[in-house]
Structure 1
Amino acid sequence: MILWLIPAVPSQVPADDTPITTPPPDTETHATGPSTATSTEQTKIDRVTAFIPLPPAADPPPLESPSQPLDAAGYQTADFATRADSPNPADEIWSAYIDLWKSHYKSPSQPELRSLFGFPVDADVLITDRRGRVAPSELNWRPGSFRVWQTDHFEILSQADDVSSRIVAEALEREYWVWTQIFFPIWSGRNQVAAIVRDWERENTSAADHLKSRSSPARLQHGQRHRVVLLADQESYRATITTAFRNTDTSAVAASTGFYSDTLRLSFFFPQPDLASLHHEICHQLFTEASANASRRRPTRGQTFATATTEDFWLIEGMAGYFESLRYEQSLAYVGGWESPRLQLARYQALIGGVPIASLEDLRGTRDDVQSKPDLARWYSQAALRTHYLMDNAGPTKRRGLLKQLADLYSQTKPNAETSPTSNDAANETNPAAILRALRVDDAHVTRNPAKGDLTTLCLAGCNLTSQGLSKQKPLHGLTWCDLSRLPLTDADVLRLIVDTQQLDQLSLEATQVTNQVTTLLRGANQLRELDLSYTAIDDSALKSIPPSVSTLWLTGTNLTDQAIDTLVALPRLQTIDLQRTTITERGLQRFRQLKPNCQLNPLNIPE
């Protein structure tokens, strides 16, 4: 049994965070779904649920029924996912903190709970703004050229418009509270919670009654606000990054869509619809600034953070990639799960591209080592994949160990620190086959874990899904990439799943059971750039529905004839097409080459 990073005795808060290192039994307490032929690993809940500030007039849906506990209803909070059936009193403090949030969810207008969290009486988040006067010297901003927006936990120096600034302010405050629930053992506010929930008999006393019984009102105190810079647009963002960090190589940072500087204690963003970069960088910022042993002061000259020198930098970035999956639905927050954005590319690479699962040795290296890798995108994908697996699929013991390792990393801040390889390799190494099984979701898993929130990317290619499992998934809006290759799905399945195609950039239905009827999906897909209908039953008549925006077209193994040539030639942006294993004759192909000489034809070179 591990005594977590908060006190073993709730009534006494120690000054250090030294845990007892006896490992807990490797048992799992996740609820499982109906009896199926699949393993428990494939049917358990694969994400955590967290709670967010709600306005007093909110009317959220019921969280659970009297006969159905929280986990059995398809919800799993972070404390439950990690505790491994532990009787540890420190875990009970975490659980009590989650219970406070559950009480707020069920009764958003309850005044003692609103006071505890510092919520305003008439809104979910208190936001103020004023004219900016003094900005950090690195920004070179004149007085009055920006506004300062403040919430309880953030200060935003903004040159963006008021609407965008307010959206970011609200998002930041929600993210803060979600982060505290998921990473409670690392959070600096955990000792305050320990004092507030002391002597709370949760079985007999409601949260509100416990708070009322205190001699003085309970309020979670916060220190200095976390600072965020919000630029007007991407061009301003790049210019600011280049200026603020002129003494370093800023090319990679300037090409990003968000950045946290641990030396300046500042995050940099610009308004954008997708908040993934915000989730990622704010996760870095909170680990650095809101951890129990964190310092909010700028580091001194020569001071080196263990997070920069550790050989386990994969965990630093992997956990931020995990937090990118934060999304909201019906007044709840979700993190992790098979639909996490970072898992979509990893799933494609592993199940379709045949890219092997990276070993821990492949991932290890310092920040400088990683940034010099030739295939940085693959490294980030594999780091996020391993972190997702350890957090969502490997069981509470692995998850617990990972959080302990993170706490150790963020508690080391020493001048000229040199961090040797950690002793966590055995705990973090896992069988690649287990990771592959977790990626290859099936009907039982999707039924148990339907996607939550809005998705922009979806790759289920190579999974063990059928129409039955996909029918449990809600229709999706706003997809930019969708890959359903090699699934036994019909026209009706695809048309039900994909509601609109206005933002769709890539669509792959290779080796599915779709016919010409699926082309009704392409109406209005004016942003579609790549389309794969290979090895489907479509014929010449389906091509008339292909939007003119398509530049890459895969039609291998379809029922096309020479009559399709004129329609294909008429596609104005077509640059690459594969027509092998169709009934198009060599004469038809030659005609295509003459009429479309700059288009790459049959690049796959499939052997006869």
Structure 2
Amino acid sequence: MSISQAPAIVRADEDLQSPSSPKRDSGDSIDRVTAFIPLPAAADPIALSKPDSAGTPLFLTPDVAARSDSPNAADEIWSAYIDLWKAHHADPSQAELRTLFGLPTGADVLITQRRGRVAPSELQWRPGSFRVWQTDHFEILSQADDVESRRVAESLEREYWVWTQVFFPIWAGRDQVALVTNDWNRQSTTADAHLKSLSSPARIKHGQRHRVVLLSDAESYRATVASAFQNTDSNAVAASTGFYSDTLRLSFFFPQQDLSSLHHEVCHQLFTEASANASRRRPTRGQLFATATTKDFWLVEGIAGYFESLRYEQSLAYVGGWESPRLQLARYQALIGGVPIASLGNLQGIRDDIQSKPDLARWYSQASLRTHFLMDSAGPSVRRSLIKRLADLYSPSKKAAEVDPPATAAEINPAGILRSLRVDDAHISQNPVKGDLSTLCLAGCEVTREGLSKQKPISGLTWCDLSRLPITDVDVRRLVADTNRMDQLSLEATGVSNEIVPLFRGATQLRELDLSYTAIDDTAVQSIPSSVETLWLTGTNLTDQAIDTLAALPRLQTIDIQRTKITEQGLQRFRQAKPNCQLNPLNIPE
């Protein structure tokens, strides 16, 4: 269904001043939560930032992000749990805290491995054809190599502990924490002193390990998932990079540099298996969960999309924020592509109906966008309500129809969501990039050279879109540390010139490059990587002298060189030299 045919979609530019849309004052809010991870006993992590001179905190923990104006006993237990992690971060060698979290003495995660004997029947694996890796909370059945298996095992343990902090009210271990922290006066007694005062060493116990299948590569992953789930859409399997089965209670992955799919699917797994109300019995074949029959399936997928933003920097974890992976495409679609913000009604539907949508990718983008907004930008009460709704959805004792709609189900003025996408200098200065990024889109935002100067250089980007920003070559080259993995780069309508060409060195994987409406000329064209397939040079200073160089690009399939100084004779030469290349596809009127 096209946008013009969708009456349920609300355009984001309507009623911009509506009082029902929460406003974000420039730079006055922290847009992500900070969580803590297991550290080796010998680690020397950075000290946590203290509040500024006005007493404003410089980071936000999950308990504070969802704290009500009148905290109750449950809020205090959540805060006590976060304080235990803060104490571990401050001194990872504290034995009582390591015992509490089950951390080994010489490492951050205890990992064991053995030869695999019996695998789930759906895998059809022979004994000895895989290895079993175990951590405190996960069992990984792996056909990948040892390096990748260990990397995934470590990532899973870190993600588990971050999930417990962000979604503490839902976690099965919350009652154990309540017992451990009972009678702890946090103002007068340190965490280790409190733990030492207990009659016996405290340890947060866990139930059955969560099971993960790690295939050797993408081809093996697709074949295995297609075989194990024969009723699954083969096209969906082919496009996926991770899968969680709530009936088999298994997650499926293959080794990847980007761990966002792992974060997404394991988030599903932990909500299903590690929540306080989770059934300890394996589901029966064909059993349906409330998450499959609720109209709020958008939240089930949206919260997993939100958790894809999990990243690490300097011994800390971060979730949410303007640089979240899912927000980059949503930002481009809304601010550059003009795609309207979807209404709640347009997002709602049960799982089977949603997964049959022809525009499923756009639906996922919009579901994640709404969830990010509700978690990070709409205020503590909305975040709190959203977490309560998730607790209800993952409670097997409640059917979807029995769960009361939360306050967050009320329609939100799309202008508020749109404003949350259009970040400015003040906002990104207060919320600098944390962790590794693979995608970055600031196109259409209110960011200048000053804002970019406050960001660290970013390595490993695969997509970077800085279109329409008032920035120069120096700004771009300082921000983008390398282009070794770059697939798409857009600098349309920026202040770059021929001085940008050093950025192209090493860009051997670059497929699409947009330098439209910039000051480049024939000289810069000589440095365009030979890997480029799509090239936008509209409105540049190119002349007929660039034709031979452009025609020599071996993989070029599409090029736009309208509104340049190239003559009709030059265009004719290009057509003759490269007859199969699509020339000037935009048909821009003169």
For residue 48 of structure 2, what is the aligned residue in structure 1? 63
The answer to which of 494-503 and 239-248 deviates more is 239-248
Higher mean C-alpha deviation, range 131-140 or range 198-207: 131-140
- Residue 234 (structure 1) aligned with residue 234 (structure 2): no
* Aligned-partner Cα distance in 2 for 1:274–1:69: 39
> Match of 1:306?
290
Deviations 1:567-587 (A, max 9, x none): 111111111111111111112
1:431 deviates by 1.1
Alignment partner for residue 29 of structure 2, among 44, 50, 56? 44
The separation in 1 between residues aligned to 2:24 and 2:400, in whole angstroms, is 43
Q: Partner amino acid for 1:517?
A: E
Distance in 2, Cα, partners of 1:537 & 1:268 = 48
CA deviation string 1:491-523 (max 9, x = no partner): 110010011111111100000011110111111
Match of 1:14 in 2: none
Provide the secondary structure at the position in 1 that maps to 2:114: strand
In structure 2, the residue matched to 1:150 is 134
Does the 8 Å CA contact 2:278/2:394 hold for their aligned counterparts?
yes
Q: In 2, are the aligned partners of 1:390 and 1:398 still within 8 Å (CA)?
A: yes
Number of residue-to-residue matches in the alignment: 570
Matched letter for residue 297 of structure 2: F
Q: Distance in 1 between matches of 2:400 and 2:176?
A: 33
Q: Which residue of 1 aligns with 2:511?
A: 529
Residue 91 (structure 1) aligns with: 75
Per-residue CA deviation, residues 546-579 of structure 1 (Å, 9 max, x unaligned), is 0111111111111111111111111111111111
Q: 327-336 or 266-275: which moved more?
A: 266-275
Work out the CA distance in 2 between the residues paired with 1:547 and 1:254.
30
- 5 Å matches for 1:505-584? 505-584=487-566
CA contact (8 A) 1:104 1:110 kept: yes
Task: State the one-letter code of the partner of 1:139.
Answer: L
Paired with 1:238 and 1:361, the residues of 2 have a C-alpha distance of 33
In 1, the alpha carbon distance for the partners of 2:458 and 2:233 equals: 40
CA–CA separation in structure 2 for the residues paired with 1:374 and 1:117: 45
Q: Is the 8 A contact 2:40 2:92 kept in 1?
A: yes
Larger deviation: 301-310 or 97-106? 301-310
Q: Given the alignment, which residue of 406, 410, 420 partners 2:390?
A: 406
- Paired residue secondary structure (1:423): coil
- In structure 2, the residue matched to 1:498 is 480
Change beyond 3 A, Cα 1:302–1:139: closer
The letter of the residue matching 1:338 is W
Which of 100, 109, 115 lines up with 1:131 in the alignment? 115
Match of 1:469 among 451, 458, 471: 451
**1:281/1:471 CA distance change after superposition, 3 Å:** same
Shift of 1:132: 1.2
Which amino acid in the other structure matches residue 472 of structure 1?
K
2:427 equivalent to 1:445: yes
1:69 to partner: Cα distance: 9.5
- Which range is displaced more, 417-426 or 556-565? 417-426
Alpha-carbon distance, 1:525 to partner: 0.8
* TM-score scaled by length of structure 1: 0.91
Q: Aligned partner of 2:289: which letter? A: F
**1:135-534 map, 5 Å:** 135-412=119-396, 419=401, 423-424=405-406, 427-534=409-516
Shift in alpha-carbon separation, 1:536–1:249, aligned structure 2, 3 A: closer
Residue 579 of structure 1 aligns with an amino acid whose one-letter code is I
For the aligned residues, what is the CA RMSD?
1.7
Whole-Å Cα distance in 1 between the matches of residues 430 and 52 of structure 2? 18
Deviation at 1:39, TM superposition (A): 4.6
- In 1: Cα distance, 2:28 partner to 2:214 partner: 41
Contact 1:70 / 1:76 at 8 angstroms: preserved in 2? no
Residues in 1 aligned to 2:324 and 2:67: alpha-carbon distance in whole angstroms: 23
Alignment check: 8 A CA contact 1:150 1:169 kept: yes
Aligned residues of 2:213 and 2:253 also touching (Cα < 8 A)? yes
Aligned equivalents of 1:457, 1:433: Cα separation in 2: 24
Matched residue SS, 1:168: helix
One-letter amino acid matched to 1:537: A
CA distance in structure 2 between the partners assigned to 1:515 and 1:195 by the alignment = 63
Q: Which amino acid aligns with 1:570?
A: A
Q: Distance in 2 between matches of 1:574 and 1:168?
A: 37
User: What is the CA-CA distance between 1:42 and the residue it aligns to?
Assistant: 4.8
AA at the equivalent of 1:60: P
Name the aligned partner's letter for residue 405 of structure 2: S
Deviation at 1:418, TM superposition (A): 6.1
Measured in 2, the distance between the counterparts of 1:335 and 1:68 equals: 26
One-letter amino acid of the counterpart of residue 414, structure 2: P
Partner Cα distance (1:77, 1:424) in 2: 23
Q: Distance in 2 between matches of 1:293 and 1:41?
A: 40
Shift of 1:592: 1.2
CA contact (8 A) 1:390 1:428 kept: no
Structure 1: unaligned runs, 5 residues or longer: 1-25, 29-37
Indicate the residue corresponding to 2:9 in structure 1: none
Alpha-carbon distance between aligned partners in 2 of 1:82 and 1:409, rounded to the nearest angstrom: 19
Question: Residues of 1 paired with 2:103 and 2:54: CA distance?
Answer: 28
Which amino acid is 1:552 matched to? T
Show the counterpart of 1:16. none
